[in-house]
A and B are shown apart, each in its own frame.
Chain A
Amino acid sequence: MLRKRVIPCLDVAGDRVVKGVQFVDITDAGDPVALASRYAAEGADEICILDITASLEDRSTLLDVVTRIAATVNIPLTVGGGIRSVDDMRDVLRAGADKVAVNSAAAERPRLLEECAETFGRQCVVLAIDAKRSTTSSWSVLTHGGRRPTSLSAVDWARDGSRLGAGEILLTSIDQDGTKSGYDLDLLGAVKAAVEVPVVASGGAGSTSDMVAAFRWGKADAVLAASIFHNETTTVAAVKRSLALAGIDVRTESLVSWP
């Protein structure tokens, strides 16, 4: 049985974890290596690291952060932010990422997804989509950290992107991001119905019941959360215990002894 995943997300700027509300009002949330190592010890299924500055100047800092996290934890790492080419993707993989998330550059040049999948396999390629609700049942794609509108529909882009080479969709609701009022279940359901690849729900996690809803009603394969873990509202271990009690098949504590 494939378990449902819980993924803490580290939004990084330089060598610090930061957190914003609806992509603005950025505040410091800690040291990325310390947080990643705490989450891994608590039973996180994966760690997501997104460079919100997405700038070339900060690239070596990001690679250094990834290298240090990869040396500390031994669960999968997804890394994104400013990935524009196969070479960018190779650099991040070499630093220790297992999957690489592409966002703005793929929206501008969809063929990037094909190139990355041909070189590294589609299981390495994550398409990150920042979606904003435009009507009750349609969402548009924003790029560049939510600052730039596009003419793309989020549901169509998820379908096209997964056919081109994305092996997973990281779906963030800009409307819900940082609000702690729950994931956008309509968005999640619409994208799940349109694609064959796994979908990670992001934006809006405030409680375990939001995650239960994302799994049960949104059919999410994984949930991503940031603030509730960074500010110690709860722990990954407590969340997974509650999810298990609610009947969601999550990976619980291993019986294997180590060392």
Chain B
Amino acid sequence: MINIGIVDHGAGNLVSIANAVRAVGAKPGVMRSPEGFGSVDALVLPGVGATAPAMSRLTASGMVPALSAWDGPLLGICVGFQLLFDNSDEDGQACLGLIGGSVRPIAGRPIPHMGWNDVSHSMDPLFADIPDREPFYFAHSFAPVPTDEAHIIATADYGQRFVGAARFGNRVGVQFHPERSGIAGLRLLSNFVAGVRESARVA
């Protein structure tokens, strides 16, 4: 059984991601401090919340250095994806700096960008068996701009093209909510878990 640690940064809905992790055959556990990191195969940095309260909660719980030191698979979702970058225009906040780049406001209106939008993706294994332009559920006003475009593995259009997903080695993130994106979202989470299983086997 693959153990997935869901990092609690204080803002709320961890239930949906835990339910979805269970649905794809892995075991979720909630991480409120770095102590639990040693007993999980991968981490998920979930999506609900605002940047500044999330970063202060991560700092207070001692999880910032532990996340920087984590070299196993890591999946960031929505705000959790944005936290992986250097800094965010939301609240002018410094973030984790695990992937080079900044988080900027998106161009489209109405804002927030709320609902199901088509995602164009590359050949990344995270999107295995998912057709190009499959819609996923978004709810956000900001999106990351990676310094190195080679990290971009998916984009979506809203006013202009923005980054829907990025990967830097074991660190991957999606701007949409796979745990709320129906069948396509479960397939994506299942692909993530398959990658975790693979890296656990190799290790």
Contacts and interface: CB of A to CB of B under 8 A. Distances in A.
Contacts of A45: 115-116, 137
B169 interface: no
A95 interface: yes
B12 A93 contact: yes
B130 interface: yes
A163 interface: no
A258 B112 contact: no
A46 B138 CA distance: 12
B20 A198 contact: no
A45 B185 CA distance: 13
Contacts of A258: 183, 186-187, 190
A121 B15 CA distance: 18
A119 B131 contact: no
Given A93-B48, A221-B115, A256-B183, A2 B108 contact: yes
A101 B52 CA distance: 23
A200 B181 CA distance: 19
Contact of B110 (A3, A71, A118, A221): A221
Contacts of B111: 196-197
A197 B111 CA distance: 5
B98 interface: no
A104 B79 CA distance: 29
Nearest to A97: B13
* Interface residues on chain B, size class: 35 or more
B131 A255 contact: yes
Contact of B49 (A67, A120, A197, A198): A120
A121 B116 contact: no
A34 interface: no
A74 B23 contact: yes
B94 to A, nearest CB: 18
Contacts of A120: 11-12, 48-50
Contacts of A257: 129, 183, 187
B65 interface: no
B177 interface: yes
A93 B116 contact: no
Contact of A168 (B112, B118, B137): B112
A5 B139 CA distance: 13
A98 B110 contact: no
Contact of A98 (B13, B118, B135, B158): B13
A96 B13 contact: yes
B110 A196 contact: yes
A198 B131 contact: no
Interface in A158-196: 167-168, 195-196
B114 interface: yes
A98 B114 contact: no
A30 interface: no
B16 A70 contact: yes
B182 A254 contact: yes
Contact of B20 (A5, A40, A74, A95): A74
B139 A94 contact: no
Given A98-B180, A168-B114, A256-B131, 12 more contacts: A1-B117, A1-B118, A70-B15, A94-B14, A94-B15, A96-B16, A99-B139, A123-B114, A124-B139, A221-B115, A257-B183, A258-B186
Interface of B: 11-16, 19-20, 23, 48-50, 53, 79, 108-118, 129-131, 134-135, 137-141, 157-158, 177, 179-187, 190
